Amino acid sequence: MNNERPVRLGILGCSDIARRRTLPAALKVPEVTVTAVASRRADTARAVAAEFGGDAVAGYEALLEQPDVDAVYISLPTGLHHEWTVRALRAGKHVLAEKPLTDRYPDTVAAVRLADSLGLTLRENLTFTQHSLHDAVHKMLGEGAIGELRSMTSEFGFPPLPAGNVRYRADLAGGSLLDAGVYPLAAASMFLGPDLDVVGATLRRGAGTEVDVAGDVLLCAPDGRTAHVAFGFEHAYRCAYTLWGSEGRIVVERAFTPPPDFRPRVRLERADGEREHVLPADDQFAGTLTAFARAVTGGGAAARSTHVVARARLVAQVRDRARLLGDGWSGGADGR
Protein backbone atom coordinates (compact mmCIF):
# COMPACT_ATOMS: atom_id res chain seq x y z
CA MET A 1 0.00 0.00 0.00
CA ASN A 2 1.14 3.52 -0.78
CA ASN A 3 1.97 5.00 2.62
CA GLU A 4 1.45 8.54 1.34
CA ARG A 5 -2.32 8.30 1.00
CA PRO A 6 -4.89 7.75 3.75
CA VAL A 7 -6.34 4.34 4.52
CA ARG A 8 -9.65 4.17 2.65
CA LEU A 9 -12.21 3.05 5.22
CA GLY A 10 -15.55 1.34 4.61
CA ILE A 11 -18.17 1.49 7.36
CA LEU A 12 -20.05 -1.76 8.00
CA GLY A 13 -23.03 -0.80 10.14
CA CYS A 14 -24.14 2.60 11.44
CA SER A 15 -24.45 2.04 15.17
CA ASP A 16 -24.89 4.73 17.79
CA ILE A 17 -21.23 4.53 18.86
CA ALA A 18 -20.12 4.83 15.23
CA ARG A 19 -22.15 7.97 14.66
CA ARG A 20 -21.43 9.61 18.03
CA ARG A 21 -17.74 8.87 18.50
CA THR A 22 -15.89 6.84 15.86
CA LEU A 23 -16.91 8.68 12.70
CA PRO A 24 -16.54 12.20 14.17
CA ALA A 25 -13.05 11.13 15.24
CA ALA A 26 -12.33 9.86 11.72
CA LEU A 27 -12.82 13.39 10.41
CA LYS A 28 -9.91 14.50 12.63
CA VAL A 29 -7.49 11.77 11.56
CA PRO A 30 -5.61 12.54 8.32
CA GLU A 31 -4.43 8.93 8.06
CA VAL A 32 -7.95 7.69 7.26
CA THR A 33 -10.75 8.71 4.92
CA VAL A 34 -14.27 7.29 4.78
CA THR A 35 -14.98 6.04 1.26
CA ALA A 36 -18.09 3.85 1.67
CA VAL A 37 -20.93 3.31 4.14
CA ALA A 38 -23.24 0.28 4.31
CA SER A 39 -26.27 -0.19 6.53
CA ARG A 40 -29.33 -2.46 6.64
CA ARG A 41 -31.34 0.62 5.65
CA ALA A 42 -30.44 2.53 2.51
CA ASP A 43 -31.68 5.83 3.98
CA THR A 44 -29.42 5.38 7.02
CA ALA A 45 -26.39 4.71 4.83
CA ARG A 46 -27.16 7.82 2.77
CA ALA A 47 -27.55 9.98 5.88
CA VAL A 48 -24.28 8.79 7.41
CA ALA A 49 -22.40 9.15 4.12
CA ALA A 50 -23.74 12.68 3.72
CA GLU A 51 -22.44 13.60 7.17
CA PHE A 52 -19.10 11.81 7.24
CA GLY A 53 -18.18 11.24 3.60
CA GLY A 54 -18.04 8.32 1.21
CA ASP A 55 -20.63 6.62 -0.96
CA ALA A 56 -23.74 4.91 0.40
CA VAL A 57 -23.56 1.22 -0.54
CA ALA A 58 -26.47 -1.23 -0.69
CA GLY A 59 -25.52 -4.16 1.54
CA TYR A 60 -22.52 -5.28 3.56
CA GLU A 61 -21.27 -7.77 0.95
CA ALA A 62 -21.34 -5.09 -1.73
CA LEU A 63 -19.12 -2.88 0.41
CA LEU A 64 -16.56 -5.67 0.73
CA GLU A 65 -16.42 -5.88 -3.06
CA GLN A 66 -15.51 -2.19 -3.38
CA PRO A 67 -11.96 -1.89 -4.83
CA ASP A 68 -11.51 1.55 -3.25
CA VAL A 69 -11.93 0.17 0.31
CA ASP A 70 -8.66 -0.82 2.02
CA ALA A 71 -10.12 -1.52 5.45
CA VAL A 72 -13.48 -1.84 7.16
CA TYR A 73 -14.80 -0.63 10.50
CA ILE A 74 -17.35 -3.18 11.74
CA SER A 75 -19.98 -1.60 13.94
CA LEU A 76 -22.62 -4.32 14.02
CA PRO A 77 -24.20 -6.14 16.99
CA THR A 78 -21.65 -8.31 18.78
CA GLY A 79 -23.17 -11.56 17.57
CA LEU A 80 -22.39 -10.58 13.95
CA HIS A 81 -18.77 -9.52 14.49
CA HIS A 82 -17.12 -12.86 13.76
CA GLU A 83 -19.03 -13.57 10.55
CA TRP A 84 -18.32 -10.19 9.01
CA THR A 85 -14.75 -10.00 10.31
CA VAL A 86 -13.98 -13.28 8.55
CA ARG A 87 -15.77 -12.16 5.39
CA ALA A 88 -13.87 -8.88 5.36
CA LEU A 89 -10.51 -10.57 5.89
CA ARG A 90 -11.20 -13.11 3.14
CA ALA A 91 -12.08 -10.16 0.89
CA GLY A 92 -8.59 -8.78 1.54
CA LYS A 93 -9.66 -5.96 3.86
CA HIS A 94 -7.98 -4.90 7.08
CA VAL A 95 -10.47 -4.84 9.97
CA LEU A 96 -11.22 -2.61 12.94
CA ALA A 97 -14.14 -4.24 14.79
CA GLU A 98 -16.12 -2.86 17.68
CA LYS A 99 -15.44 -4.50 21.01
CA PRO A 100 -15.54 -7.32 21.74
CA LEU A 101 -13.92 -8.66 18.59
CA THR A 102 -16.13 -11.76 18.80
CA ASP A 103 -18.43 -13.26 21.42
CA ARG A 104 -16.54 -16.58 21.67
CA TYR A 105 -12.91 -17.26 22.54
CA PRO A 106 -12.36 -19.85 19.76
CA ASP A 107 -13.73 -17.38 17.22
CA THR A 108 -11.35 -14.69 18.42
CA VAL A 109 -8.38 -17.04 18.14
CA ALA A 110 -9.51 -18.13 14.66
CA ALA A 111 -9.99 -14.56 13.45
CA VAL A 112 -6.56 -13.48 14.70
CA ARG A 113 -4.92 -16.49 13.07
CA LEU A 114 -6.71 -15.79 9.80
CA ALA A 115 -5.60 -12.15 9.79
CA ASP A 116 -2.03 -13.13 10.56
CA SER A 117 -2.00 -15.77 7.81
CA LEU A 118 -3.23 -13.20 5.29
CA GLY A 119 -0.89 -10.45 6.44
CA LEU A 120 -3.81 -8.20 7.37
CA THR A 121 -4.32 -5.91 10.35
CA LEU A 122 -7.08 -6.88 12.76
CA ARG A 123 -7.84 -4.62 15.71
CA GLU A 124 -10.52 -4.43 18.39
CA ASN A 125 -12.05 -0.98 18.92
CA LEU A 126 -11.57 -0.93 22.70
CA THR A 127 -10.66 2.71 22.56
CA PHE A 128 -9.90 3.54 26.18
CA THR A 129 -6.61 1.65 25.90
CA GLN A 130 -5.39 4.40 23.53
CA HIS A 131 -6.09 7.32 25.92
CA SER A 132 -2.95 9.04 27.20
CA LEU A 133 -4.47 9.10 30.70
CA HIS A 134 -3.41 5.49 31.29
CA ASP A 135 0.15 6.14 30.17
CA ALA A 136 0.29 8.87 32.80
CA VAL A 137 -0.95 6.45 35.46
CA HIS A 138 1.65 3.88 34.39
CA LYS A 139 4.31 6.58 34.75
CA MET A 140 3.11 7.39 38.29
CA LEU A 141 3.35 3.71 39.19
CA GLY A 142 6.83 3.47 37.69
CA GLU A 143 7.96 6.46 39.73
CA GLY A 144 6.80 4.75 42.94
CA ALA A 145 3.88 7.10 43.67
CA ILE A 146 2.06 4.39 45.65
CA GLY A 147 4.96 2.06 46.40
CA GLU A 148 4.43 -1.47 45.14
CA LEU A 149 1.09 -2.15 43.46
CA ARG A 150 -0.81 -4.77 45.49
CA SER A 151 -4.32 -4.89 44.02
CA MET A 152 -6.90 -2.99 42.04
CA THR A 153 -10.64 -2.55 41.72
CA SER A 154 -12.55 -1.41 38.65
CA GLU A 155 -16.19 -0.76 37.86
CA PHE A 156 -18.21 0.06 34.77
CA GLY A 157 -21.97 0.24 35.10
CA PHE A 158 -24.92 2.33 34.05
CA PRO A 159 -28.73 2.43 34.47
CA PRO A 160 -31.09 0.01 32.68
CA LEU A 161 -31.38 0.44 28.93
CA PRO A 162 -34.63 0.98 27.01
CA ALA A 163 -36.69 -2.14 26.37
CA GLY A 164 -35.75 -3.71 23.06
CA ASN A 165 -32.15 -2.48 23.16
CA VAL A 166 -29.85 -4.86 21.27
CA ARG A 167 -27.84 -5.45 24.46
CA TYR A 168 -30.78 -7.45 25.85
CA ARG A 169 -30.87 -9.82 22.86
CA ALA A 170 -29.22 -13.16 23.50
CA ASP A 171 -29.36 -14.08 19.81
CA LEU A 172 -27.05 -11.11 19.05
CA ALA A 173 -24.68 -11.83 21.96
CA GLY A 174 -26.00 -9.16 24.27
CA GLY A 175 -25.37 -8.97 28.00
CA SER A 176 -23.35 -6.89 30.41
CA LEU A 177 -20.22 -9.06 30.39
CA LEU A 178 -19.57 -8.51 26.69
CA ASP A 179 -20.76 -4.91 26.61
CA ALA A 180 -19.54 -3.44 29.92
CA GLY A 181 -17.43 -6.10 31.61
CA VAL A 182 -14.72 -6.10 28.95
CA TYR A 183 -13.65 -2.61 30.08
CA PRO A 184 -12.68 -3.34 33.70
CA LEU A 185 -11.31 -6.75 32.68
CA ALA A 186 -9.05 -5.00 30.16
CA ALA A 187 -8.03 -2.43 32.76
CA ALA A 188 -6.99 -5.23 35.11
CA SER A 189 -4.86 -6.76 32.35
CA MET A 190 -3.38 -3.35 31.60
CA PHE A 191 -1.96 -2.96 35.11
CA LEU A 192 -1.54 -6.54 36.40
CA GLY A 193 -0.46 -8.21 33.16
CA PRO A 194 -2.11 -10.40 30.51
CA ASP A 195 -1.78 -13.70 32.41
CA LEU A 196 -4.61 -13.12 34.86
CA ASP A 197 -6.76 -16.00 36.04
CA VAL A 198 -10.43 -15.90 37.08
CA VAL A 199 -10.71 -17.36 40.59
CA GLY A 200 -14.33 -16.42 41.23
CA ALA A 201 -17.23 -14.77 39.45
CA THR A 202 -20.98 -14.20 39.39
CA LEU A 203 -23.31 -13.32 36.53
CA ARG A 204 -26.86 -12.29 37.23
CA ARG A 205 -29.73 -12.56 34.78
CA GLY A 206 -32.31 -9.78 34.84
CA ALA A 207 -36.01 -10.40 35.26
CA GLY A 208 -37.65 -10.75 31.87
CA THR A 209 -34.34 -10.87 29.98
CA GLU A 210 -32.29 -13.65 28.39
CA VAL A 211 -28.90 -12.13 29.18
CA ASP A 212 -26.73 -11.24 32.15
CA VAL A 213 -27.33 -7.72 33.45
CA ALA A 214 -24.64 -7.60 36.13
CA GLY A 215 -21.50 -9.38 37.22
CA ASP A 216 -18.51 -9.45 39.56
CA VAL A 217 -15.14 -11.10 38.97
CA LEU A 218 -12.14 -11.82 41.19
CA LEU A 219 -8.86 -12.11 39.28
CA CYS A 220 -5.40 -13.22 40.34
CA ALA A 221 -2.05 -12.58 38.65
CA PRO A 222 0.77 -15.17 38.70
CA ASP A 223 2.61 -13.06 41.31
CA GLY A 224 -0.40 -13.11 43.68
CA ARG A 225 -1.71 -9.59 43.05
CA THR A 226 -5.48 -9.44 42.68
CA ALA A 227 -8.24 -7.42 41.03
CA HIS A 228 -11.94 -7.19 41.67
CA VAL A 229 -14.10 -5.90 38.82
CA ALA A 230 -17.83 -5.20 38.72
CA PHE A 231 -20.11 -4.26 35.84
CA GLY A 232 -23.73 -4.11 34.76
CA PHE A 233 -26.81 -2.47 33.29
CA GLU A 234 -28.65 -1.75 36.57
CA HIS A 235 -26.42 0.70 38.40
CA ALA A 236 -25.91 4.37 39.00
CA TYR A 237 -23.30 5.38 36.44
CA ARG A 238 -19.73 4.53 37.40
CA CYS A 239 -16.66 4.24 35.21
CA ALA A 240 -13.51 4.03 37.30
CA TYR A 241 -10.54 2.10 38.62
CA THR A 242 -8.43 2.28 41.78
CA LEU A 243 -4.86 1.05 42.16
CA TRP A 244 -3.91 0.19 45.76
CA GLY A 245 -0.25 0.02 46.65
CA SER A 246 1.99 -0.39 49.66
CA GLU A 247 2.15 3.38 50.20
CA GLY A 248 -1.07 4.79 48.77
CA ARG A 249 -3.80 4.68 46.15
CA ILE A 250 -4.39 6.08 42.66
CA VAL A 251 -8.05 6.76 41.86
CA VAL A 252 -9.18 7.35 38.28
CA GLU A 253 -12.75 8.46 37.50
CA ARG A 254 -14.29 8.62 34.00
CA ALA A 255 -11.70 6.01 33.11
CA PHE A 256 -13.24 4.36 30.06
CA THR A 257 -15.47 6.81 28.21
CA PRO A 258 -14.18 10.39 28.62
CA PRO A 259 -15.36 12.85 25.96
CA PRO A 260 -12.59 14.18 23.69
CA ASP A 261 -12.59 17.60 25.41
CA PHE A 262 -12.57 16.17 28.95
CA ARG A 263 -9.49 16.73 31.11
CA PRO A 264 -9.09 13.62 33.29
CA ARG A 265 -8.40 14.00 36.99
CA VAL A 266 -6.24 11.44 38.78
CA ARG A 267 -6.29 11.46 42.59
CA LEU A 268 -3.20 10.33 44.49
CA GLU A 269 -3.90 9.37 48.09
CA ARG A 270 -0.98 8.90 50.50
CA ALA A 271 -0.46 9.13 54.24
CA ASP A 272 0.96 12.62 53.79
CA GLY A 273 -2.17 13.88 52.01
CA GLU A 274 -4.07 13.86 48.75
CA ARG A 275 -3.07 15.45 45.46
CA GLU A 276 -5.05 15.76 42.25
CA HIS A 277 -3.39 15.67 38.85
CA VAL A 278 -5.33 17.25 35.97
CA LEU A 279 -4.23 15.71 32.68
CA PRO A 280 -4.61 16.90 29.08
CA ALA A 281 -7.75 16.12 27.11
CA ASP A 282 -7.40 13.35 24.55
CA ASP A 283 -9.63 11.77 21.90
CA GLN A 284 -9.25 8.02 22.41
CA PHE A 285 -11.29 7.24 19.29
CA ALA A 286 -8.98 9.34 17.14
CA GLY A 287 -6.02 7.68 18.81
CA THR A 288 -7.39 4.23 18.01
CA LEU A 289 -8.01 5.13 14.37
CA THR A 290 -4.53 6.60 14.06
CA ALA A 291 -2.93 3.47 15.53
CA PHE A 292 -5.03 1.26 13.25
CA ALA A 293 -4.11 3.23 10.13
CA ARG A 294 -0.41 3.13 11.01
CA ALA A 295 -0.60 -0.62 11.55
CA VAL A 296 -2.24 -0.99 8.13
CA THR A 297 0.34 1.11 6.30
CA GLY A 298 3.29 -0.14 8.33
CA GLY A 299 2.53 -3.83 8.25
CA GLY A 300 1.85 -4.19 11.98
CA ALA A 301 -0.79 -6.88 11.50
CA ALA A 302 -0.10 -8.88 14.64
CA ALA A 303 1.14 -6.06 16.85
CA ARG A 304 -1.72 -6.18 19.38
CA SER A 305 -3.32 -9.54 18.68
CA THR A 306 -1.97 -11.06 21.91
CA HIS A 307 -3.93 -8.51 23.96
CA VAL A 308 -7.15 -9.25 22.10
CA VAL A 309 -6.76 -13.00 22.63
CA ALA A 310 -5.91 -12.53 26.32
CA ARG A 311 -9.06 -10.47 26.88
CA ALA A 312 -11.19 -13.06 25.09
CA ARG A 313 -9.67 -15.79 27.26
CA LEU A 314 -10.66 -13.89 30.41
CA VAL A 315 -14.24 -13.47 29.18
CA ALA A 316 -14.42 -17.20 28.45
CA GLN A 317 -13.13 -17.99 31.95
CA VAL A 318 -15.78 -15.75 33.51
CA ARG A 319 -18.50 -17.58 31.59
CA ASP A 320 -17.05 -20.94 32.50
CA ARG A 321 -16.51 -20.31 36.20
CA ALA A 322 -19.27 -17.87 37.16
CA ARG A 323 -22.02 -18.71 39.59
CA LEU A 324 -25.19 -17.93 37.65
CA LEU A 325 -27.78 -15.97 39.59
CA GLY A 326 -31.39 -15.20 38.72
CA ASP A 327 -34.28 -17.16 37.26
CA GLY A 328 -34.12 -18.96 33.95
CA TRP A 329 -30.47 -19.95 33.72
CA SER A 330 -30.12 -23.42 32.27
CA GLY A 331 -26.76 -23.99 33.98
CA GLY A 332 -23.30 -23.97 32.48
CA ALA A 333 -21.95 -21.34 30.14
CA ASP A 334 -21.28 -21.22 26.43
CA GLY A 335 -18.70 -19.36 24.41
CA ARG A 336 -15.63 -21.21 25.64
Query: What's the maximum distance between 2 C-alpha atoms anywhere in the chain?
Result: 63
Query: Could you tell me if 322 and 201 are in contact, meaning their C-beta atoms sit under 8 angstroms apart?
Result: yes
Q: Catalytic annotation on 28?
A: no
What's at 117, amino acid-wise?
Answer: S
Q: Which of 216, 208, 204, 212 has its CA nearest to residue 174?
A: 212
Q: What are phi and psi of 323, to 5 degrees?
A: -80, 125
Q: How far apart are CA 37 and CA 83, in angstroms?
A: 18
Q: Which of 28, 93, 99, 139 is catalytic?
A: 99
Q: Which residues contact 172 (CB under 8 A, 6 or more apart)?
A: 77, 78, 79, 80, 166
22 three-class SS: helix
152 three-class SS: strand
133 three-class SS: helix
Number of helices (H), then strands (E), belonging to the chain: the values are 11, 15
Which residues are identified as catalytic? 99
